[in-house]
């Protein structure tokens, strides 16, 4: 019994010593509080990540917006942003509203039931693009006429003005042809001014590109419209 008690006492003493040793283990220097307080200077460095890009820019030469008839401007409304859009109304001449209308083929003639051609197809495509539906047959039919009638009525302002669209016909005199769906213009033709057929109201700019017109004389064997 005395020997066993002595062994137990020795083990207990060793354990207490180990505990005291662990308790007194010193904190590593990397984790100790720093006693050196000071200021660090802040600096700046410019980083310029310059890269080269290839950009292709296509400028579209612009023509003026031509009036289809001669007379006095009885209505003139220049858009606030200076942009004329296909399917809108900016002018009226001698009391007749004129609808601005873009077609891929210029509107060079009046149309009636049964007429065919690139201008008919272009008119049908634009009426559909503006949301008026109609036909895509390539033939000026009732559906095409009705789509044109509804577009004109939406811009005419009054039922009397809308009645200028004759049954089964498209009159070029009621539309101002636009070479693009949107055009920037200076709207030089003011209320009360006199305009002539095929005269331009301003120097128009397509895709914000303006070009000063240069006149040249040419001789052609046949009369007509480009």
Ranges of each domain in the chain: 71-195
Taking residues 132-155, report their average pLDDT.
95
The pLDDT tens digits of the residues spanning 194-219 come to 877 765 544 343 333 343 444 445 45
Q: Kindly write down the DSSP assignment for every residue of 176-194, as one continuous string.
A: EEESSSEEE------TT-E
Reply yes or no on whether the pLDDT at 104 is more than 60: yes
CA angle, 73 then 75 then 77, to 5°? 115
pTM, rounded to two decimals = 0.61
pLDDT at 116: 96
CA dihedral (176, 179, 182, 184) positive or negative: negative
In tens, the pLDDT along 55-101 reads 655 444 444 577 888 889 889 887 878 788 999 998 899 999 999 99
- Say whether pLDDT at 121 is over 50: yes
| Buried/exposed code over 166-191 (b: 16+ C-beta within 10 A; e: otherwise) | eebbbbbebbbbbbbbebbbebebee
> Which ranges constitute the DSSP H helices of the chain?
2-23, 118-129, 142-156, 159-162
Burial of 75: CB neighbours in 10 Å, binned 0-12, 13-18, 19+: middle
**What does the pLDDT read at residue 119?**
96
| pLDDT band per the 50, 70, 90 thresholds, residue 43 | confident
Which range, of 2-16, 166-180, 184-198, averages the lowest pLDDT? 2-16
Better-scored residue on pLDDT, 205 or 25:
25
Looking at every residue in the chain, the average pLDDT score rounds to 76
192 pLDDT higher than 70: yes
């Amino acid at each position: 019994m005395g020997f066993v008690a002595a062994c137990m006492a020795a083990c207990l003493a060793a354990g207490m010593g180990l505990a005291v040793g662990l308790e007194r283990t010193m904190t590593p220097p990397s984790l100790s509080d720093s006693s050196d307080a000071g200021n660090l200077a802040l600096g700046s460095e410019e980083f310029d990540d310059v890269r080269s890009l290839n950009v292709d820019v296509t400028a579209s030469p612009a023509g003026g917006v031509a009036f289809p008839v001669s007379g006095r401007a009885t209505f003139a409304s220049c858009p606030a942003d200076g942009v004329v859009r296909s399917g809108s109304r900016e002018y009226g001449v001698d009391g007749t509203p004129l609808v601005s209308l873009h077609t891929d083929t210029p509107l060079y003639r009046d149309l009636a039931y049964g007429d065919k051609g690139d201008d008919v197809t272009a008119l049908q495509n634009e009426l559909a693009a503006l949301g008026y539906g109609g036909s895509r047959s390539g033939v000026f039919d009732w559906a095409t006429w009705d789509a044109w009638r509804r577009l004109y009525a939406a811009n005419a302002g009054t039922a009397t003005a809308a009645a200028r669209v004759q049954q089964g016909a498209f009159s070029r005199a009621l539309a101002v042809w636009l070479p693009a769906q949107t055009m920037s213009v200076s709207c030089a033709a003011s209320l009360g001014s006199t305009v002539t057929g095929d005269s331009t109201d301003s120097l128009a700019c397509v895709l914000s590109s303006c070009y000063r017109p240069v006149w040249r004389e040419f001789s052609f064997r046949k009369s007509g419209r480009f």
